[in-house]
Amino acid sequence: MERLAGRVILLWGWRRAITAFLAGALAVLSQAPYDFFAICFVSFPVLVWLLDGATVASQRGFLRRLVPAFATGWWFGFGYFLAGLWWIGGAMLVEADSFAWALPFAVVGIPLILAFFYGFACAVARLFWSNGLGRIAALAFGFGLAEWLRTFLFTGFPWNAIGYAATPVPLMMQSVSVTGMIGMNTLAVFVFAMLALLAARQHRRLGLSLAAILALAHIGFGYVRLAAPAKSDGRGISVRVVQPNIDMTEKWDESVRDRIFRTLLDLSAEPPEKDKPKPQLILWPETSVPFFFTERPDALTALGALLDEGQMLIAGAMREEGGNSTKGDARYYNSVVAINASGEIVDAVDKVHLVPFGEYMPFADLLARFGLDQIVAGPMNLAPGIERHAITMPSGIRALPFICYEIIFPELVAVDATSTDIIVNVTNDAWFGDTPGPYQHFRQAQLRAVEAGLPVVRAANTGVSGVIDQRGRIIDALAMDTRGVVDATISLGRYDKLTLGYPGINGLVILFAFGALGLGMGVGQKLRSN
């Protein structure tokens, strides 16, 4: 092992870049749908050894001394994000005549930019670098900090955070109810990178013991939490999730929109499965209705005829407000609307966190001068919603909606889900076909259920649709590219037993504790060497 580490440490030039790139790319196998988390016990030790060798002459300036570490981390990140996000390019091929030119930006450009976060992580870690356990703590702090920044900088995009590698199954998801994703990202890197100590004698036994204790605590807590009896407040709700499996090439085709609407109606009207009650809530995916309800009162009439008293439909739909559409000054929202048994729209919630370049164009006025206003994948620029609120159903149960990738933001869900009974998530991952993207998206919804201690009901156009309980377990789901419904009954009650404080705050405490540990050991080593 020492010989292998020595060869990695001495790599330079393109060999170092390729090794970092491959280590990052392999780490993606730990994410859904592969879930081979053990690969991180290879990728992160290799990264540690590469950073051991990321040095320059001490007389160089402060920032220049960090360049090799930043470059190593950037190549690691570029491999990780390129292998993990290539499927985003699929959205550019749905209307290839218009958007194929943007394919390189989506496939290569986004990973290229996101890799700066991991470059930053490694540069920060290198500031505290020392010979033994301290450098593992420093790397954990660097990645934990970078992943946290990735949740909000430049509108945020915390997709495939490293912590998801440590949570492939519900047994291994429960710790996030204590640590939050901030803490999970930090602890995961600390444990994954610990095998780098096998190549050195310093702190080897201590480090491996710490990693084993953390891993056992992670799994043991999951076992105890899952074995504990479910906490219910005595209420329940029956739900139906509709997955219409509409081809994206037909989604906005006016000639077939009545057929699409009829498909949604027919699926919703199917009798419940044997021994299952009639659903109180029917959920349709994001932008499932291919027209504005304000222009189709006949559609509302049909829905009124479909729904019985006590039932409610929550449907993803575009919403128009103010101005005049013929003059181009109306505002459009990506929304969910709630419709009751009288065929009335009784509530609507607009998407607050829009997708840049997909739903709105950042710096639109500036980029329009260069003819880039057509990159927006849709017929119009969307306006963001002002606030999110729970939709109250006839039974009094409160359902909090998140549209599309809003579900991937841990803090966003944690703040808004404090006074609700269930989380509903509508999305349309058909843009990306049967690629890893929809599975990664669904996995992140599972983690939000565990963090919030609330069930998640999720409808996706082509998948993955399903119902997730308060502990992240899948009650039922539909496979990708299938048409059908999921009927389920959920016991309500926030699952907060065996949790400690607020996961987000706990995560920050863990993050900065590792920063202090890395800093302390690094400073201690320098004092001893002097």
pLDDT at 377: 46
Q: Which one has a higher pLDDT value, 330 or 214?
A: 214
**Residue whose C-alpha is closest to residue 465's, from 272, 326, 267, 174:** 267
Least confident span in 178-192, 318-332, 334-348, 364-378 = 364-378
Spot the catalytic one: 147, 251, 404, 411: 404
pLDDT at 324: 66
Residue 238 pLDDT exceeds 80? yes
CA–CA distance, 189 with 145 (Å, rounded to integer): 12
103: part of which helix (H) or strand (E)? helix 103-104
CA–CA distance, 396 with 147 (Å, rounded to integer): 38
137-175, pLDDT tens digit by residue?
999 999 999 999 999 998 899 999 999 999 999 999 999
pLDDT at 61: 75
Summarize the confidence of residues 297-309 as an average pLDDT.
96
In the chain, the amino acid numbered 381 is N
DSSP state of 155: G
Spot the catalytic one: 40, 122, 251, 351: 351
175-218, pLDDT tens digit by residue?
999 999 999 999 999 999 999 999 887 899 999 999 999 999 99
Summarize the confidence of residues 272-279 as an average pLDDT.
87
**Residue whose C-alpha is closest to residue 513's, from 117, 70, 179, 208:** 179
Of the spans 316-325, 362-371, 468-477, 485-494, which averages the highest pLDDT? 468-477
286 is catalytic: yes
Summarize the confidence of residues 348-368 as an average pLDDT.
80
How distant, in Å, are the alpha carbons of 176, 259, 339, 507 from that of 343?
41, 20, 6, 45
Banded model confidence at residue 102, pLDDT cuts 50, 70, 90 = confident
Spot the catalytic one: 147, 286, 359, 451: 286
33-68, pLDDT tens digit by residue?
999 999 999 999 999 999 999 987 665 677 778 999
pLDDT at 328: 67
Summarize the confidence of residues 395-413 as an average pLDDT.
95
Banded model confidence at residue 284, pLDDT cuts 50, 70, 90 = very high
Q: Strands, E, within 386-483: which ranges? A: 391-392, 398-403, 422-427, 456-460, 466-468, 474-477
Summarize the confidence of residues 284-294 as an average pLDDT.
94
pLDDT at 414: 86
Summarize the confidence of residues 492-499 as an average pLDDT.
64
